Amino acid sequence: MKKILKEFLISALLFFGTLYVTLQVDWMKALHLYPTIVGDKLSEWVWKISEMSLRKVNDHDVCAPIDSLVSEMCKANGISTADIHVVITRDDEVNAYATVGNHLIINTALIEKMKNESQLCAVIAHEMAHFRLGHIQSAVRQQTIITVFLALITGNGNSNMLANLTNKIISNSITRAKEDEADEQGARYLHAMHLDPMEMANTLETFESYGVLSYFMDHSDSKKRAEHIRKMHFKKNGPYQQILSEEAWVRLKKACL
Ligand SMILES: [Zn+2]
């Protein structure tokens, strides 16, 4: 019995030791795997694995209004909609995050908690800014190799675990400075599309009031981030617009309950 326990402990130690060492190295960089086609293909494959753990929402009442908001944001900011792939998932965690292959994941619980379309746009703008500022790409390279490694040793069996780890690695690589940058850039995106940029600050405070831990606010306290945004100055850009009709907004929220 003692021998079995000893063998088990040694195996566990070896496994976690190898995993720990693997996490410390930027393997894509070390192996010169980017920006090659191999890197892209691997990312694609990692997305396919992560995708399996998501409960995608295809409901028209959810997808159509989100599409309108994203298209409007892209148009006003000179971003191609083909560069951002929005995926809405049925999930109770109040969360949205940017991940491999320019996929922007928005959970239904987050949509349900947002007070108005501008706050929802603030979340989308923040994540889009992470893509545009190159914050996600280096983390994606890193986690791609780790996922491949894990898939090989676990036999690709646990897509949930792989997807969670993927998102954790990306999230952990985003520093406080990068969060501030994404908030600022996001506020500019809102301003360009004739929404109140200060909704970025309000949204951060909304998150604070729910006391939720999410990738959106993991790395710094949202009060300080909100203050940072309130110090920004924006030129007048005409009246603020409303993109969705009141009915469409109510239907969207209801479908996310
Ligand atoms: Zn962020």
Q: What is the pLDDT of residues 167-198, one digit of tens each?
A: 666 666 677 788 889 999 999 999 999 999 99
Q: What is the pLDDT of residue 215?
A: 46
Q: At what angle do helices 222-230 and 176-192 cross, to 10 degrees?
A: 40
Residue-wise pLDDT tens digits, 134-174: 887 766 666 666 767 777 766 655 666 666 766 666 666 67
Q: Using CA atoms, how far apart are residues 22 and 248, in angstroms rounded to an integer?
A: 47
Q: Sorting pLDDT into bands at 50, 70 and 90, what band is 219?
A: very low
Q: Using CA atoms, how far apart are residues 84 and 101, in angstroms rounded to an integer?
A: 9
- What is the share, in percent, of the chain residues with pLDDT greater than 70? 70
Q: Between 16 and 71, where is the model more confident?
A: 71
Q: What is the pLDDT of residue 236?
A: 85
* Ligand 1 center–CA 55 separation, angstroms: 22
3-state per-residue secondary structure call for 113-181:
HCCCHHHHHHHHHHHHHHHHCCHHHHHHHHHHHHHHHHHHHHCCCCHHHHHHHHHHHHHHCCCHHHHHH
* Ligand 1 center–CA 125 separation, angstroms: 10
pTM: 0.77
Q: CA 243 from chain center: how many Å?
A: 23
Neighbours of 85 (CB within 10 A): 14
* Ligand 1 center–CA 167 separation, angstroms: 12
Q: What is the pLDDT of residue 102?
A: 87
Mean pLDDT of the chain: 81
* Ligand 1 center–CA 174 separation, angstroms: 7
Amino acid making up residue 122: A
* Ligand 1 center–CA 129 separation, angstroms: 9
Pair type for strands 103-107 and 85-89: parallel
88 bridge partner residues: 106
* Ligand 1 center–CA 120 separation, angstroms: 14
